[in-house]
Structure 1
């Protein structure tokens, strides 16, 4: 349906046609007709994003303005740009869009009406409007009749910048202007830039309303208890939060207000590389008509080949959350009883599960530790420690301490239990020992969520200073202290101290952190570990 709207308020004029909130069927037809993609054997729209198959962090800039200058955590992640450069690029993109068909999606971010952000996504490509339709929250007819966007996204992948000549780093750019409430994207077809830039805006706006934004997944049990899962790529966040006994609230971005947790999204953007039909059947079954597959290779008969990384390891599926069976349709849960921090420690020295004090939770939240192993990134042959503040540093625009303080306040207010769960290795670490069995990890998470660890005795780890349980249902007690799994106890201590030093070195970048939080982190000194 072609609904007559104008984009003159955005200085976008002279477009051929403007199509607003078309159905998925209509957008799919446009995408195929315009050679933007093809259908898989099950009806998913398969697109190739070309040169850019993932986010381009060095090409994202925030316009430096007086209104936000002292609030942004400026640096390599949040790069400043002058407003004159934004205006120049905006004028060029607006001119580029003249005479073209434009696809608009009007919708919302945030399931809690009190904190919802109405957004307008203006797209050069039909499939990007379909992506916005699947990933954001969809409006009803009444919403559209008097819709007023509070933020606008303009995506023009076909427009290439001139790099340094334009004051940018390359042909691709993601420019966020808070005063004008516009996100300008060009030069890249990777749809994730649309999603992540909008959520980054939410992560900046919500703390002013007393809401903690979280890069996490969340679910709710039949007992009404809500749980939140933080973790970087490869830690098992999606696997562990997708639980047949618990309803999924959302898998990537949430807010935590005094009323509870709410999902930002209306869909999921799942990785599909090496997708296993049996182990990840929820995602596998969600890939059908209405789903967008990015950079997935098709066999001659149209079957997706999820093991093929011809274009990228970062193959993706974008689909509405209701393509998953066991969901919380409201997108809302209560205040979390339990928070799980996930890390995949490849050095084999961190406990499989440990309880954190409020101060330790704030320390590990600001640290955001996991490790990368051979095969995850080009050039990595040995385990490598990596830290991402708040378990989502690229999307957090403010100082990590702001978000950590919000976490600490909520732990105090709601008595939330926080556990650090290691989904990585034991017995000598990656290449020597074994990865912790998924069945054990599931049992530990289940025990934490069901409160079965509340009355268990704990002992403090003398290096990492976290509390290790002496027992856990359905988990061998001997593995709960990682040192027990190493034949060479001295080698364990050496490796543990090495990782502790990495924690301390990373934490030095944070300024004016309260001493009790610093003291809750790992220690680096020679002690007798008994």
Structure 2
């Protein structure tokens, strides 16, 4: 059987001219063992819409977005992710946690079965860049079974110019076949779903899940492994820029306000999720945004809300009303409803996706215990300690079985995507901060006046006032004092914020109850950090909080 090549969505195959991107893609896939497939190479947005509708993958909502459902997987499957352990990765990957080893033989067998499965099927190819900095961007080839996935990656990654498309040579390939399901007993996987990363073969295999976020995060994990060797700090953070060119980074896990706080109308957005920090400054890994849209309102986040009614946007697991309008308040399919759109769908952006060295680095945490101060200034060692810890808290109602606040420690604020030892990333970040002179802040967007259930959520107005003061330099000359449990430096006064709010102990009706809760949280920090001590210098270990 021969491979049919098409650059449109018609049913009739069309021979591609030698040397074209389509022909090069077909040749590359044939080298992997893919024969007898119909290949659609680098289709446009309208063509991908037509293919997705023809294949029954989704529906068009009012205003033009393509809506798709991904059940049973409505989020990532981190427990089904594997990294091939071989001579390249054996000593460079931090094994354990989310970095689960598998063998080259497992990868080879899966690849052989997947390529055989492709015969007689349609495949969609997109050649793209991961990264907006030409010096560090990674050319990637995304090969997907679903047209919607091809549209998703076209939105999320950096799209080559026509001239670049003629010469692009992919350095990493993703083969994503949701319809192919593994046999755990035969294939050495945990379930029918799998994400297998092979750094030596420079490939990622994905199967058994329609959730498109695996494409995005798979390549993010690749960059997190490759870039530190070039002195680039990869970061799970958002970034924005003020009128004076001053860049700020915002690290934070889901629910901490990373997207909301970085989308500041007075500052321009560089990117909302993944960045690299080079010797020249920061650059966005992506060409799009993947925003969570549950309960999104036009009043609070008008820019993101507008994308949910635009042609070219992909809406994942968003319920449509009878009139085909998206119901963003309906979480019946999942709370993890998403909008994937090109970043230029947002007006207030930095078009080139790059900026200078950050002047400020902000760690966001949603502390449901009501212990951490709303803002504190970190030393170099405290920064490394908090970065490795990556603390936030789950609250009741967010997940089944969560009845009281639960601590969540996700190292580097992105544990599932970090192949190397956290200490390696922390040391690289510390060097970048030291060389740039950036100030580092810990901002608690969680609870004050008590833990969840008795206290109240931190006022967004107060949080914005605190960030404005930090980013504007108003806190540079402020008086600070140290709180007793975590050794954090708290400003005595911030314009627009009541003084008692700045010191969390003063907001509690029972200060002794605050002390007991603070000791409990400090103990959780200490217990979590024990697994990192071996790869971290003693000065950072000494920042563990006092829970005596």
Q: Secondary structure at the match of 1:35?
A: coil
Partners in 2 of 1:164 and 1:421 — Cα distance? 47
2:469 counterpart of 1:447: yes
Q: Which residue of 1 aligns with 2:407?
A: 385
2:496 counterpart of 1:474: yes
Query: Superposition pairs for residues 169-180 of structure 1, below 5 Å?
Result: 169-180=190-201
8 Å contact from structure 1 (residues 465, 521) kept in 2: no
Counterpart pick for 1:19 among 21, 28, 40? 40
Q: Secondary structure at the match of 1:370?
A: strand
Partners in 1 of 2:187 and 2:515 — Cα distance? 52
8 Å contact from structure 1 (residues 423, 436) kept in 2: yes
Counterpart pick for 1:342 among 352, 364, 377? 364
Q: Which residue of 1 aligns with 2:295?
A: 274
2:256 counterpart of 1:235: yes
8 Å contact from structure 1 (residues 136, 266) kept in 2: yes
Counterpart pick for 1:425 among 421, 431, 447? 447
Partners in 1 of 2:486 and 2:384 — Cα distance? 14
Counterpart pick for 2:58 among 17, 31, 37? 37
Partners in 2 of 1:201 and 1:213 — Cα distance? 10
Q: Which residue of 2 aligns with 1:528?
A: none
Counterpart pick for 1:50 among 71, 74, 93? 71
2:187 counterpart of 1:136: no
Partners in 2 of 1:109 and 1:215 — Cα distance? 14
Query: Superposition pairs for residues 203-352 of structure 1, below 5 Å?
Result: 203-287=224-308, 288-352=310-374
Q: Which deviates the most, 41-50 or 5-14?
A: 5-14
Partners in 2 of 1:382 and 1:335 — Cα distance? 40
Aligned pair count? Answer: 524
Aligned-residue RMSD, C-alpha: 0.9
Partners in 1 of 2:353 and 2:303 — Cα distance? 18
Partners in 1 of 2:297 and 2:399 — Cα distance? 21
8 Å contact from structure 2 (residues 233, 425) kept in 1: yes
Query: Superposition pairs for residues 92-103 of structure 1, below 5 Å?
Result: 92-103=113-124
8 Å contact from structure 1 (residues 235, 370) kept in 2: yes
Q: Which residue of 1 aligns with 2:438?
A: 416
- TM-score (norm. length: structure 2): 0.95
Q: Which residue of 2 aligns with 1:521?
A: 544
Partners in 1 of 2:230 and 2:480 — Cα distance? 37
User: C-alpha displacement at 1:26, in angstroms?
Assistant: 0.7
Q: Which residue of 1 aligns with 2:516?
A: 494
2:107 counterpart of 1:81: no
User: C-alpha displacement at 1:278, in angstroms?
Assistant: 0.8
User: C-alpha displacement at 1:164, in angstroms?
Assistant: 2.9
Q: Which residue of 1 aligns with 2:19?
A: none
Q: Could you list the runs of 4 or more consecutive aligned residues of structure 1 that deviate by over 3 angstroms after TM superposition?
A: 1-4
Q: Which runs of 5+ in 1 are unaligned?
A: 526-530
Deviation string 1:279-303 (CA, Å, 9 cap, x unpaired) is 1111100121100011111111101
Deviation string 1:356-379 (CA, Å, 9 cap, x unpaired) is 001100000000001110011110
Q: Which residue of 1 aligns with 2:525?
A: 503
Q: Secondary structure at the match of 2:518?
A: helix
User: C-alpha displacement at 1:186, in angstroms?
Assistant: 0.6
8 Å contact from structure 2 (residues 130, 286) kept in 1: yes
Q: Which residue of 2 aligns with 1:462?
A: 484
Q: Secondary structure at the match of 1:509?
A: helix
Q: Secondary structure at the match of 1:483?
A: helix
Q: Secondary structure at the match of 1:216?
A: strand
Q: Which residue of 2 aligns with 1:436?
A: 458
Pair 1:67–1:290, CA change in 2 (3 A): same
Partners in 2 of 1:106 and 1:292 — Cα distance? 19
Partners in 1 of 2:97 and 2:516 — Cα distance? 32
Partners in 2 of 1:382 and 1:215 — Cα distance? 27
User: C-alpha displacement at 1:304, in angstroms?
Assistant: 0.9
- TM-score (norm. length: structure 1): 0.98
